[in-house]
Amino acid sequence: MKLLRHRRTRQSAKVALRVSLSLASIYAFLIGQALITKKRVGTTSEVPPDSGTVYGIDFPGEAIRLLVLGDSTAVGYGMKKAEDTPTALIADSLSYVLDTPVNARSAAVVGAQSKDLINQINAAADHRPQIAVILVGANDIRHQVRPSTSAERLATAIRALRAEDCEVIVGTCPDLGTIKLILPPLRTVVRHWSRRLAKAQTVAAVEAGARVVSVGDLLGPLYLKLGEGFFGDDRYHPSKAGYAHVSSFLVAAAVASWRARDHEEAHADLHESIMSVNAAAIEASEHAGTEVVRKGRLARVLPGRSAN
């Protein structure tokens, strides 16, 4: 009997060792793919021109103060003209839709993670933003930050802005699995990571008082249409058309949030759904462009809409 137990123990140990080695091999392979992808990604030393200025100066009234926060996507990495960056695109559209000047500033930084948002907010404290747009998440995945940790850091930043009576729009982590430069099976893995983070971001952001836009694979259909023209010089970040596409959904959310603040929303959207925040996060992660905003203990879910 003791001999049988000993054999079983040895067999179990061998199985455990094989499983550990297999997992280690898979992890090493994925890390190797990640390094190869990093080498394949082109780079550009050019930084987009400063897009901080007043847009819609011909409109009457006091300018709305807009602040853009986040990572390279928020910066508009790869753009050579200020007018093509998300800050300019959002501010310009807001001014025309709301018929008012918009004083815009960007505090976004290339390579930023969710943990950097508070520093960005503090750096632009003198701007006293009334609307803030946040695009962040891709670098949290790159640095393997736990979704729960990343989401809580995002929520902390949102609460700081809301405490100053600022409307907050969050564009969730994009679906990195849509980037063709990332090869399988790493592409499948990062798609899973992206969606997990986007769900966590949605729940945390809505509960903190933000309006959320599911960026997801918003850019996927545009890639199919434009092909390589979808990418910028680094073959990783969006092109001018890509930034404009994402910005249009953020503008629509910002307009809705501002009008709700001023009680200008006459009635509920006929296509909206009311559900739990968790259910809303799942719904948004599966349908790019979806907006989620808190409604009491529940959440309003609106189908994707752009300002175009």
* Annotated catalytic residue, options 127, 234, 269, 287: 234
Q: How far is 23 from 27, CA to CA, in rounded Å?
A: 6
Q: How far is 78 from 101, CA to CA, in rounded Å?
A: 27
| Residue 49 and residue 81 in contact, taking contact as beta carbons nearer than 8 Å | yes
| Residues paired with 231 in a beta bridge | 238
Give which of 207, 209, 219 is closest to 175, Cα–Cα: 219
Q: How far apart are the first and last CA of the chain?
A: 76
* Annotated catalytic residue, options 51, 71, 72, 306: 72
CA 32 to chain centre: 26
Helix (H, G, I), strand (E, B) or coil at 164: coil
- Known catalytic residue at 234: yes
- Known catalytic residue at 92: no
| DSSP states along 290-304 | -EEEEETTEEEEE--
| Residues paired with 302 in a beta bridge | 291
The sheet carrying 273-275 orders its strands as 54-55, 102-106, 64-70, 131-135, 167-171, 211-213, 291-295, 298-302, 273-275
Give which of 275, 285, 155 is closest to 209, Cα–Cα: 155
* Annotated catalytic residue, options 95, 214, 217, 237: 237
Angle at which helix 147-162 crosses helix 186-208, to 10 degrees, equals 30
- Known catalytic residue at 72: yes
Helix (H) or strand (E) holding 51: none
Which amino acids are annotated catalytic?
72, 234, 237
